[in-house]
Amino acid sequence: MNKLPRCIKVFKSVLNAESRQILDIPENFRRAAVLIPIIERENKWTLIFTRRTSNVSKHRGEISFPGGRFNKDLDKNLVDTALRETEEEIGIKHISVIGQINDISTISKYIVTPVIGYIVDNSEINHQTINAFEIDYMLEVPLSRLTDSEIYSQKHVSHKSGSVLDVPFFDYDGEVIWGATGRILVNFLTKINKLSSECRLNLMKRELWFETES
């Protein structure tokens, strides 16, 4: 396996030094995990998202991270879930796990554990090897764009239960990242903001405009 870049090692240390929120499972909820895949493009961090097809049962047509439901027959833990689902959905196998961030609860009754992984071999990123039944396409978004306040907003969204939720939205050239993925992304960016100033400014070219985890 390739050596990890210095700032990835620093980020791993930041994550390992902090505790994270692990949620209990309420009645009728299930556990799931997603991978936040980091790749390097011209020495800058980029995240990989997927656009879900209309074939899937949940969140059709939405931008998300690769991931899915915990399978007790296939997975020893939720890291296994994130890695297995990533391979199944977009065909990437060689991933160095950096850490995990806060669990979130979703309106679709999942407790989702976000796992952060570094893609060690960019040649595995092949749009021809995606699972076409579940995934329409992969979307690469530079970290520097995700930290641009001009693409970020927060909106009130009404749920069919009658509740109104404050939901983060990231509009990247017409590709809208929101909902559970948007909340996970906010938490991820908050962790990034705890990197050393050298790593942070080199990767993002700016400071974050928010500090609160979602």
* CATH number of the domain residue 121 falls in: 3.90.79.10
Instruction: Show the tokens assigned to 154.
Output: 């927060």
| CB distance 184 to 34 below 8 Å | yes
pLDDT of residue 148: 86
Return all residues near 101 (Cβ < 8 A) that are at least 6 apart. 15, 20, 114, 116, 184, 187, 188, 191
Provide φ and ψ at 10, rounded to 5°: -65, -45
Does 192 reside within a domain? yes
Does 133 reside within a domain? yes
| CB distance 36 to 115 below 8 Å | yes
Rounded to whole angstroms, how far apart are CA atoms 168 and 18? 24
Rounded to whole angstroms, how far apart are CA atoms 40 and 45? 5
Instruction: Show the tokens assigned to 68.
Output: 């899915």
How high is the mean pLDDT in each 10-residue block of the chain (214 residues)?
79 93 94 96 89 72 92 97 96 95 93 96 82 90 90 82 80 94 95 85 60 50
| CB distance 33 to 25 below 8 Å | no
Q: The domain containing residue 90 runs over which residues?
A: 6-146+177-201
Does 138 reside within a domain? yes
Q: Find how far residue 5's CA is from the centre of its chain.
A: 20
DSSP state letter for 4? P
Place of tokens 């903001």: 193
Rounded to whole angstroms, how far apart are CA atoms 106 and 208? 25
Does 161 reside within a domain? no
pLDDT of residue 1: 46
Does 48 reside within a domain? yes
| CB distance 162 to 82 below 8 Å | no
Sign of CA dihedral 136, 141, 146, 148: negative
Q: What pTM value is reported for the model?
A: 0.91
Return all residues near 196 (Cβ < 8 A) that are at least 6 apart. 10
Instruction: Show the tokens assigned to 79.
Output: 């890291």
Q: Which residues pair with 212 in a beta bridge?
A: none
Does 166 reside within a domain? no
Q: Domain count of the chain?
A: 1
Does 171 reside within a domain? no
Does 172 reside within a domain? no
